[in-house]
Amino acid sequence: MKKLWMRLGCALIAGMLAAGCGTGGQKMAVEPATADKALTERDGGVAGRQGEMQSEKPQQQEPKPEERQSEGTQLEKAQSEEKQSDGAQPEERQPELLQPEDRQPKGTQSEESQPELPQSEEPQSKESLSEEPPSREAQSDAAAPETQLLPVSPFFTIDDADLQDKISARLNRMSLEEKAAQLFIITPDVLAGSGEPLTAADEGFKAAFDAIPVGGFIYMGDNLVDQDQTVAMLAAVQEYSEERLQLPAFACVDEEGGTVTRISGTGKFRVPTIGDMSRIGKKNDPDRAYDVGVKIGTYLHDLGFNVDFAPVADVLTNPDNQVVKLRSFGDDPNVTANMAASVAYGLASQRILGTYKHFPGHGATEADTHEGYAYTERTKEQLLESELVPFQDGIARGIPFIMAAHISLPNVTGNDVPASLSEEIIDGILRGEMGYDGIVITDALNMGAIVQEYSSAETAVKALQAGADLLLMPEDFAAAYQGVLDAVANGSLSEERIDESLRRILRVKLGYLGEE
């Protein structure tokens, strides 16, 4: 317990000191002082966009004697039971990760660096120990203590000294075509036009990348053969990106653990098997969640990834939901917030950028957006009380990516437009009311909920108009890319709007990834 609180306290002080080195108080996603508040009222009636989010010491129940084992033993036991079913102008400083000293090779972590479980309160006196225990009826009537949110500290910090000048200089050197390309995350197969899973970044791939230098790639299971092949391919892609634009590429993967993985549990990599997050949530153990993040982050970093589309921050408000049932940490907003944050801290300790998904919350739906239209009847008041709690908490901690879902919210927007294409949801609620100025990435744009209603070009333009920054896997990449260029030409989109997204993207690429 002491280590966990000391770690968070130290990171908070570091984050506060780093925040003082910013650009005149400019709001940025990784500066938690700009987002350390929560929504409290309907329709924008929020003082300064947010009310205070008070982070208090979480109340944990005393573990049973037989449960007091090392974190490593607990996780190994859980892993054996769980099977996968599958995805001022200061001197310039280096970006500071939370717990950079925790970086251990080969997925290990020192015993000293692992967060400890909260300890019990003052020992009971002899008199109290001699008292009769409460009856079962009294125990069942006693309400369980409410889980409190963990103290806020930044996932990582970026030194903004001179960074905005560097970003402006870089933008001035980029053509509109290069800017538009940076807005897309696609599979390497699509860029190469191979029609088959790409497993090597060969000369043909390099020529395609030189022509359209996209912002990054998402790698699926078929792209990943083994350790050596994956390391070589991802390293080659980064080399091409640096050569073409002097920028790193986002190397992304869906590695949640449990039912959604591309690496763990596939039998192709010698890495730990990570179980479903629903089990982690039931334990309500931030230390265990942090350890999961460290383990996933370690092998992703070793392979060459820098972005994980995890953790799932959906609150499971509909028990019949089968889409995120095993992927969610549960139905308690505060537990979900704490578990998601702990996993993201673990990822950040290994220099992996986490992604909260699926905004504004997929836990109340019944349908699957992969297949077609999906909606939630939740009102804005209900979202504020539940689904939005983990996302607001992540914003306060500086989560670098938030993924917008394709679910519709007719009781919030009054229409059936998916959240990923809704200006009211992204620009209005997520950015305007919740104060998020990090990178918004859409969920995959080749899902049924999108392609059954919109063309690829229309989808790309609508997402950018709504406030998204990165467009993930459009059904027809060539049409989507050209659609963005055409929209700028006809005035549907301004180049200033493109630059707005590029500034968020370059801030992470130049200020964080470029410093490793």
For residue range 287-316, what is the model confidence (pLDDT) as tens digits? 999 999 999 999 999 999 999 999 999 999
What local confidence, expressed as pLDDT, does residue 322 receive?
79
How much is the mean pLDDT over the chain?
Answer: 80
Which structure tokens are listed for 22? 């910013």
More confident site: 299 or 369: 299
Burial 98-120 (b: 16+ CB within 10 A, else e): bbeebbeeebebeeebbbebbee
Answer yes or no: is pLDDT of 56 > 70: no
Beta bridge partners of 251: 217
H/E segment holding residue 204: helix 203-211
Packing angle of the helix pair 495-511, 163-173 (nearest 10 deg): 130
Q: Tell me the residue type at 338.
A: N
d(CA 330, CA 478): 39
Marked catalytic residue, from 102, 160, 291, 443: 443
CA distances from 368 to 357, 364, 407, 447 (A): 15, 11, 9, 9
Answer yes or no: is pLDDT of 104 > 70: no
Show the domains of the chain with their CATH numbers.
2-59+150-515 (3.20.20.300)
The arithmetic mean of pLDDT across residues 479-483, rounded, is 98
Task: Give the number of other Cβ atoms within 10 Å of residue 413's Cβ.
Answer: 18
How much of the chain exceeds pLDDT 70, in percent?
Answer: 71
**Got the DSSP string for 262-328?**
SSTTSSSS-------HHHHHHHT-HHHHHHHHHHHHHHHHHHT--EE---B------TT--SSTTTS
Answer yes or no: is pLDDT of 365 > 70: yes
d(CA 157, CA 283): 30
More confident site: 469 or 159: 469
What local confidence, expressed as pLDDT, does residue 187 receive?
98
Answer yes or no: is pLDDT of 69 > 50: no
Interstrand relation of 51-52 and 37-38 (parallel, antiparallel or unpaired): antiparallel
Judge contact between 268 and 225, C-beta under 8 A.
yes
**Got the DSSP string for 373-422?**
--B----HHHHHHTTHHHHHHHHHHT-SEEEEP--B-HHHHSS--BGGG-
**Got the DSSP string for 482-507?**
HHHHHHHHHTSS-HHHHHHHHHHHHH
What local confidence, expressed as pLDDT, does residue 111 receive?
36
The arithmetic mean of pLDDT across residues 423-436, rounded, is 98
Angle (CA) 165 171 175, round 5° = 165
Q: In this predicted structure, which of 22-31, 260-269, 279-288 has the lowest mean pLDDT? A: 22-31
pLDDT-based confidence at residue 364 (cuts at 50, 70, 90):
confident
Answer yes or no: is pLDDT of 401 > 90: yes
What local confidence, expressed as pLDDT, does residue 194 receive?
85
Is 358 catalytic? The answer is no
What local confidence, expressed as pLDDT, does residue 368 receive?
66
Is 370 catalytic? The answer is yes
**Got the DSSP string for 58-92?**
---PPPPGGG---HHHHHHHHHHH--------PPP
The beta strands (E) that lie in 13-154 are given as: 37-38, 51-52
Interstrand relation of 401-404 and 355-359 (parallel, antiparallel or unpaired): parallel
Beta bridge partners of 453: none
Answer yes or no: is pLDDT of 218 > 50: yes
Which structure tokens are listed for 279? 């089990």
The arithmetic mean of pLDDT across residues 88-101, rounded, is 38
What local confidence, expressed as pLDDT, does residue 160 receive?
80
Answer yes or no: is pLDDT of 329 > 50: yes
More confident site: 424 or 121: 424
Cβ neighbours for 139, distance < 8 A, ≥ 6 positions apart: none
d(CA 265, CA 242): 32
How much of the chain exceeds pLDDT 90, in percent?
Answer: 65
Task: Give the number of other Cβ atoms within 10 Å of residue 140's Cβ.
Answer: 8
More confident site: 157 or 340: 340
Task: Give the number of other Cβ atoms within 10 Å of residue 451's Cβ.
Answer: 16
CA dihedral 493, 464, 430, 251 (to 10 degrees): -140
Q: Is 358 helix (H, G, I), strand (E, B) or coil?
A: strand
**CA-CA-CA-CA torsion sign (31, 34, 40, 43):** negative
Which structure tokens are listed for 270? 């010698």
What local confidence, expressed as pLDDT, does residue 143 receive?
55
Answer yes or no: is pLDDT of 136 > 90: no
The arithmetic mean of pLDDT across residues 478-507, rounded, is 98
H/E segment holding residue 355: strand 355-359
What local confidence, expressed as pLDDT, does residue 460 receive?
98
d(CA 446, CA 363): 21
The arithmetic mean of pLDDT across residues 65-81, rounded, is 42
Answer yes or no: is pLDDT of 170 > 50: yes
pTM for this model (two decimals): 0.74
The arithmetic mean of pLDDT across residues 259-283, rounded, is 94
d(CA 256, CA 325): 13
More confident site: 186 or 362: 186
The arithmetic mean of pLDDT across residues 392-416, rounded, is 97
What local confidence, expressed as pLDDT, does residue 374 receive?
87
CA dihedral 46, 149, 289, 299 (to 10 degrees): 40
The arithmetic mean of pLDDT across residues 458-484, rounded, is 98
Q: What is the pLDDT of residues 187-208, one digit of tens each?
A: 999 999 988 999 999 999 999 9
What local confidence, expressed as pLDDT, does residue 514 receive?
83
Judge contact between 155 and 446, C-beta under 8 A.
no
